[in-house]
Amino acid sequence: MEKSPSKLDLITEFFADFTPRQLEQLAALDELYRDWNSKINVISRKDIDHLYENHVLHSLAIAAAFEFPSGAKVLDIGTGGGFPGIPLAIYFPEVEFLLADSINKKLTVVKEVAAAIGLTNVTTRHTRVEDIKDRKFDYVVSRAVAPLKDLWQWAKPVLNKRPSEGNFPASGLICLKGGDLGQEISESRLRPRVMEIYELFPLDYYREKYLLYVHR
């Protein structure tokens, strides 16, 4: 079935380097998430019509700001329905992603979506991040799961100590957040690099939405 190009236009407006295979994978997300969301609610009903702007492109803000090296290992904390992990795994096919969540039925959606589009660089784990003791990661990503202080407390023990190299950032936590972050950052006692997503994607939805990066 032919996909409507309009949804992908939103992505390709900001990313010119997707392969035909990656574009196929991105295009398939619409029907897959609509189908699975009717069985297991992972995206709010009002949001499903804005999947590409509110979820896919939002997740790809990380790819717009950071380059991950081939072979890097990335943990997505509290992935829910697979954001930001699934779009990032499409963008970085040579990077390994572990998508973790404490709610197993959400991971059912993640596994089925990943399998349907042929993502071979995604695995899932039904766990709380505090219970991951057997693996280390180069980067931890997350989207609006918990306060920065808690995210860093969970991320730090599972992060490798990989220095920055060329365009590749040092190991660290990269999270997507919104709103007034002053108090949250102050309470974390961290000094994250803060980037406005609106500067990457100048669309109204991204006003007061931010990328925060704390290096290991």
Q: What is the pTM of this model?
A: 0.94
What's the rounded Cα separation, in Å, for the pair 216 and 211? 16
User: What average pLDDT score do residues 197-212 get?
Assistant: 96
Mean pLDDT along residues 158-175: 94
Average pLDDT over the chain reads: 93
Indicate whether 1 pLDDT > 50.
no
CATH fold, domain 5-215, is Rossmann fold (3.40.50)
Q: Is 122 annotated as a binding residue?
A: no
User: Would you say 78 is a known binding-site residue?
Assistant: yes
In this structure, what are the phi and psi dihedrals at residue 191, rounded to the nearest 5 degrees? -125, 70
Q: What is the mean pLDDT of residues 82-103?
A: 97
List, in order, residues 6 or more apart from 25 with CB less than 8 Å away. 90, 117, 118, 119
Q: Is 182 annotated as a binding residue?
A: no
Q: Is 129 annotated as a binding residue?
A: yes
Percent of the chain whose pLDDT exceeds 70:
97
- Res 144: pLDDT: 78
Q: Are strands 139-143 and 193-196 parallel, antiparallel or unpaired?
A: unpaired
What are the extents of the domains in the chain?
5-215
Which residues sit opposite 139 in a β-bridge?
74, 172
- Position with higher pLDDT, 82 vs 7: 82
Confidence of residue 3 (pLDDT cuts 50, 70, 90): very low
Residue 103's identity, in one-letter code, is I
The answer to the question of whether 68 is labelled as a binding residue is no
Question: What pLDDT score was predicted for residue 5?
Answer: 45
